[in-house]
């Protein structure tokens, strides 16, 4: 295939005489005879076959025949980066820029190397240069969007994604990026619109279908979620998250057998998916199978040490079984996995109360109340802890907080405890 450079040369040569036309013909013939295209295709095929050394050799051979392009070096850099060899990738892209200083693709490659090394500021500089050299390309803008997204600068990330979409309306990853930000912000209508656009341009994109399903779940539309996630499972049968969220949809629809099947399928595909064990545990508990539930929660914690829900549910059952020390260990692990887990802290406070460790309970629960004053359960448990220390005035303040919040049930329960404490005096 002839490059646009030769086509533009042909256009200019229309006004040339016979000598100019002959020179142009020789240039075109040389391009047609060049082995570069075949070598690049061969390198790509070898890379797919995981014959990486041979692929790199083919790219190097292609580079020897390239005069005004740097495709061989850039593809070698891409492959080295894929293999985790950032140093060699950087060397390839830098060689490409020495040979062709205006190569937007080489700057893009360098930016990806800098990102792999967590050098975001330097990566943005390389992306800015790539955008200058190729103003129509969406890739620099999309990558800048990813950088801002990962840093938590969501407003700037949305702008970058929109710049990418302006250059390529069918840029699926940019649509997904926008959708993820709107989903994160709780703007489900905008999220659904963005994900739907991604599916319009790529109907078989499993990630987009899963995200639409998740959005429907959060919007309490389980039937729509199930229909979408069934499509995701058909598109990618081996996607564990598609099966997991389809299980969630069936759980909301009270189709428990279907839910169990998909949670189990998710675990067959991904043994480390601790949340699937947790969901199975909740189903077993609802069906009065506490031993199977306990085993499921334990498996969830073992499969994914970061799954705080597994530890939390495990601790709850351990407390019911009077396994106080085991429950305390489970709660500490839950808090290690998720330090901001309010339910974990409240349960830890309740455990301290059960073990009559009043001061430890007060210390934990006061922190929860300070950070989440509208949490009535924390007020109630803190009131109980104050009563354990004989601090009636402070317990009364917690009763007043519950009464002001119109939580009649907890307020009356705490009032009875206060009256009992007063009767003892």
Flag whether pLDDT at 14 surpasses 80. Answer: no
Q: So what's the pLDDT on residue 28?
A: 47
pLDDT in tens, 131-190: 999 999 999 999 999 999 999 999 999 999 999 999 999 999 999 999 999 999 999 999
pLDDT in tens, 199-255: 999 999 999 999 999 999 999 999 999 999 999 999 999 999 999 999 999 999 999
pLDDT in tens, 362-413: 999 999 999 999 999 999 999 999 999 999 999 999 999 999 999 999 999 9
Q: So what's the pLDDT on residue 129?
A: 95
Q: Is the pTM of this model over 0.85?
A: no
Please give the CATH topology (third level) of the domain spanning 279-339: 1.25.40
Flag whether pLDDT at 3 surpasses 70. Answer: no
Q: So what's the pLDDT on residue 66?
A: 79
Flag whether pLDDT at 193 surpasses 70. Answer: yes
Poorest-confidence range of 2-6, 126-130, 172-176? 2-6
Q: So what's the pLDDT on residue 10?
A: 40
CATH (one of 3.10.20.440, 1.25.40.10, 1.20.120.80, 3.30.420.40) for 38-135: 1.25.40.10
Q: So what's the pLDDT on residue 317?
A: 95
Fold match flag (279-339 vs 356-425): yes
**Rounded (5°) CA angle 339-344-350:** 140
Higher pLDDT, 146 or 422: 146
- Give the chain as a 3 state SS string: CCCHHHHHHHHHHHHCCHHHHHHHHHHHHHHHHCCHHHHHHHHHHHHHCCCHHHHHHHHHHHHHHCCCCCHHHHHHHHHHHHCCCHHHHHHHHHHHHHHCCCCHHHHHHHHHHHHHCCCHHHHHHHHHHHHHHCCCCCHHHHHHHHHHHHHCCHHHHHHHHHHHHHHCCCCHHHHHHHHHHHHHHCCHHHHHHHHHHHHHHCCCCHHHHHHHHHHHHHCCCHHHHHHHHHHHHHHCCCCHHHHHHHHHHHHHCCCHHHHHHHHHHHHHHCCCCHHHHHHHHHHHHHCCCHHHHHHHHHHHHHHCCCCHHHHHHHHHHHHHCCCHHHHHHHHHHHHHHCCCCHHHHHHHHHHHHHCCCHHHHHHHHHHHHHHCCCCHHHHHHHHHHHHHCCCHHHHHHHHHHHHHCCCHHHHHHHHHHHHHHHHHC
Flag whether pLDDT at 425 surpasses 60. Answer: no
Output the average pLDDT for the chain.
Answer: 90
**Domain 356-425 top-level CATH class:** mainly alpha
Flag whether pLDDT at 2 surpasses 50. Answer: no
Domain ranges of the chain: 1-33, 38-135, 279-339, 356-425
């Amino acid at each position: 295939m002839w490059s646009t450079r030769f086509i533009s040369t042909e256009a200019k040569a229309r006004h040339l005489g016979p000598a100019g036309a002959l020179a142009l013909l020789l240039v075109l013939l040389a391009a047609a005879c060049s082995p570069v295209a075949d070598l690049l295709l061969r390198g790509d095929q070898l890379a797919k076959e995981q014959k990486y050394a041979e692929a790199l050799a083919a790219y190097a051979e292609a580079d020897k025949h390239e005069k005004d392009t740097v495709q061989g070096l850039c593809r070698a850099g891409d492959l080295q980066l894929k293999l985790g060899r950032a140093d060699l990738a950087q060397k390839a892209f830098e060689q490409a820029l020495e040979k062709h200083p205006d190569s937007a693709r080489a700057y893009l490659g360098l930016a990806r190397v800098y990102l792999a090394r967590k050098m975001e500021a330097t990566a943005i500089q390389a992306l800015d240069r790539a955008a200058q050299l190729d103003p129509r390309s969406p890739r620099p803008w999309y990558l800048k969007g990813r950088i801002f997204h990962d840093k938590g600068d969501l407003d700037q990330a949305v702008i970058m994604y929109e710049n990418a979409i302006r250059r390529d309306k069918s840029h699926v990853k940019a649509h997904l990026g926008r959708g993820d930000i709107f989903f994160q912000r709780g703007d489900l209508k905008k999220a659904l619109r963005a994900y739907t656009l991604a599916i319009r341009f790529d109907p078989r994109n499993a990630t987009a279908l899963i995200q639409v399903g998740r959005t429907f779940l959060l919007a309490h539309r389980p039937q729509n979620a199930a229909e979408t996630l069934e499509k995701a499972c058909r598109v990618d049968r081996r996607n564990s998250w598609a099966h997991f969220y389809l299980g969630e949809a069936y759980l909301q629809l009270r189709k428990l057998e279907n839910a169990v099947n998909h949670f189990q399928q998710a675990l067959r595909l991904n043994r480390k998916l601790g949340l699937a064990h947790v969901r199975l545990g909740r189903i077993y508990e609802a069906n009065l199978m506490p031993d199977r539930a306990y085993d499921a929660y334990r498996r969830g914690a073992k499969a994914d040490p970061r799954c705080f829900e597994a530890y939390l549910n495990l601790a709850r059952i351990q407390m019911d079984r009077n396994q106080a020390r085991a429950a305390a260990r489970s709660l500490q692990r839950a808090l290690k996995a998720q330090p901001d887990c309010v339910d974990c802290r409240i349960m830890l406070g309740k455990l301290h109360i059960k073990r009559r460790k009043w001061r430890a309970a007060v210390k934990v629960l006061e922190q929860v109340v300070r950070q989440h004053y509208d949490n009535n359960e924390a007020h109630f448990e803190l009131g109980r802890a104050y009563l354990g220390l004989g601090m009636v005035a402070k317990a009364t303040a917690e009763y007043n907080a519950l009464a002001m919040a119109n939580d009649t049930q907890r307020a009356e329960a705490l009032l009875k405890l206060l009256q009992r404490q007063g009767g003892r005096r």
